[in-house]
């Protein structure tokens, strides 16, 4: 163990005592400090743009905040108390089987109403009292005419249940100070740090083994008695450096927000209070729970990107080729999405694996309900599927590095 730590320390110094390594550390410090001055619109502020001009709401902060919260709550309550949503949600709770909910004529009618408009009385008359055989014909006709979409229907069933759960668990129906969490959440994975971490992986980790080849040290490593420990240390260094730098960034942001906006409070309230699209959260999670989940997801994304860069280094023989392979791999989901004939199930997952979405639109993904994809007689939650794919890529990257390392040592 001690020997492994010594090797890990040597690997760290070898990467970061160079001019390039020192430069990246300095840039990281600048990005972290610069991010501490980033401003986000608070719940107590309201800014809009009209004809290219910024218009700032000058009312009292508490008035603005209560108005914003009231709008969010009314939207949730409006959807949770609608006859359509309640009926669909009750079926979902009763059957626990989406296929059975889907077969209910009145639920389908309510779906048509919610998506395409119509009077509830007319919906009941048209769909509420049909025989099973007539309903099946009507359903096929609705699908042919584009009036019925199973994906949208499933989305409606799920969000109806989730929204009702959020409303039932609201403890205070007025604004509470969540300024600290609003700002901290904004900085957890700001595009600035996301872009830096991507560049850091490309510059540092995509050269983690090719540098040894270029300098001719690879032969010494592969013939030494500690060859496996040295190669393993590169994997460990990749993970620890990525996680360590990101957590350090978060610590700097936490302290900066605490100094400017005061101590964190009301973190036990629901997360929809600090989110613009909180209505689509999969559960009535707390603000603190959401922050922890978001940090966890961001770490998973970052270590996967870093490990892909390291894997590229083991698969190539020079820096340029390694960066090229790394760039190609992270663009695969985006390119694959344009290929004709890709199953809709796969495309739904690929759409959420696009690198710019993961890095720059993370709030539209973390904890959010993105719909479900049909897998025969069962359904797969898209959000969970995306996380599973990311984790699988991370594990496979390590496995490929291990296999490549074995081959290199055997050849020597």
In angstroms, the CA 260 to CA 187 distance is 14
pLDDT at 118: 47
Q: Which of 24-38, 111-125, 144-158, 233-247 has the lowest mean pLDDT?
A: 111-125
In angstroms, the CA 115 to CA 293 distance is 31
Q: Report residue 72's pLDDT band, with 50, 70 and 90 as the boundaries.
A: confident
Q: Is the pTM of this model over 0.85?
A: no
pLDDT digits (tens, 9 = 90+) for 81-113: 666 666 666 666 666 655 566 566 666 666 555
Cα–Cα distances in Å, from 169 out to 231, 278, 283, 348, 367?
Answer: 51, 14, 10, 31, 17
Q: At what angle do helices 287-315 and 179-188 cross, to 10 degrees?
A: 10
Half-sphere exposure of 252 (CA within 13 A, CB side): 20
pLDDT at 220 over 80: no
Give the residue-averaged pLDDT of 310-323.
89
Domain boundaries, the chain: 2-43+177-411, 64-168
pLDDT at 254 over 80: yes
Let me know: does 222 contact 57? Beta carbons within 8 Å.
no
Which of residues 376 and 71 earns the better pLDDT score?
Answer: 71
Sign of CA pseudo-dihedral 218, 222, 225, 231 = positive
In angstroms, the CA 4 to CA 240 distance is 14
Find the angle CA(115)-CA(125)-CA(98) to the nearest 5 degrees.
50
pLDDT at 60 over 80: yes
Among candidate residues 409, 214, 200, 387, the one with its CA nearest the CA of residue 310: 200
**Total Cβ atoms within 10 A of residue 158:** 21
């Amino acid at each position: 163990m001690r020997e492994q730590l010594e090797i890990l320390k040597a690997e760290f110094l070898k990467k970061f005592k160079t001019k390039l390594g020192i430069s990246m550390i300095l840039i990281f410090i600048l990005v972290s400090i610069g991010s501490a001055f980033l401003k986000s619109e608070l719940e107590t502020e309201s800014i809009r743009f009209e004809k290219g001009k910024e218009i700032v709401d000058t009312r009292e902060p508490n008035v603005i905040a209560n108005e914003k919260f009231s709008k969010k709550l009314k939207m949730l309550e409006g959807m949770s108390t609608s006859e359509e949503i309640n009926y669909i949600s009750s079926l979902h709770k009763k059957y626990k089987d989406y296929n059975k909910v889907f077969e209910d004529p009145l639920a389908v009618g309510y779906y048509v109403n919610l998506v395409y408009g119509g009077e509830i009385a007319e919906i009941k008359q048209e769909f509420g009292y049909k025989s099973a055989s007539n309903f099946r014909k009507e359903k096929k006709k609705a699908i042919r005419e584009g009036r019925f979409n199973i994906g949208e229907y499933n989305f409606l069933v799920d969000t109806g249940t989730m929204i009702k759960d959020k409303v039932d668990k609201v403890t205070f129906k007025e604004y509470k100070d969540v300024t600290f969490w609003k700002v901290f959440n904004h900085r957890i994975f700001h595009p600035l740090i996301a872009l830096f971490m991507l560049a850091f992986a490309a510059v540092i980790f995509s050269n983690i083994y090719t540098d040894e080849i270029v300098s001719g040290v690879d032969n010494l490593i592969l013939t030494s008695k500690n060859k496996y420990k040295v190669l393993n240390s590169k994997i460990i260094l990749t993970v620890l450096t990525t996680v360590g730098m990101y957590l350090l960034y978060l610590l700097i942001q936490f302290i900066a927000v605490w100094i400017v906006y005061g101590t964190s409070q009301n973190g036990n309230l629901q997360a929809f209070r600090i989110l613009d699209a909180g209505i689509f959260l999969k559960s009535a999670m707390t603000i603190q729970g959401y922050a922890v989940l978001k940090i966890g997801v961001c770490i998973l994304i970052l270590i996967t990107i870093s490990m892909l860069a390291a894997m590229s280094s083991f698969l190539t023989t020079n820096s340029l080729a390694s960066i090229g392979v790394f760039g190609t791999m992270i663009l695969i989901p985006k390119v694959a999405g344009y290929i004709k004939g890709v199953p809709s199930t796969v495309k739904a997952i690929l759409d959420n694996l696009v690198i710019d979405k993961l890095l720059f639109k993370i709030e539209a993904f973390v904890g959010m309900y993105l719909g479900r994809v049909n897998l025969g007689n069962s359904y797969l939650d898209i959000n969970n599927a995306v996380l599973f794919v990311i984790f699988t890529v991370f594990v496979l990257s390590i496995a490929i590095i291990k296999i490549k390392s074995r081959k290199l040592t055997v050849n020597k």
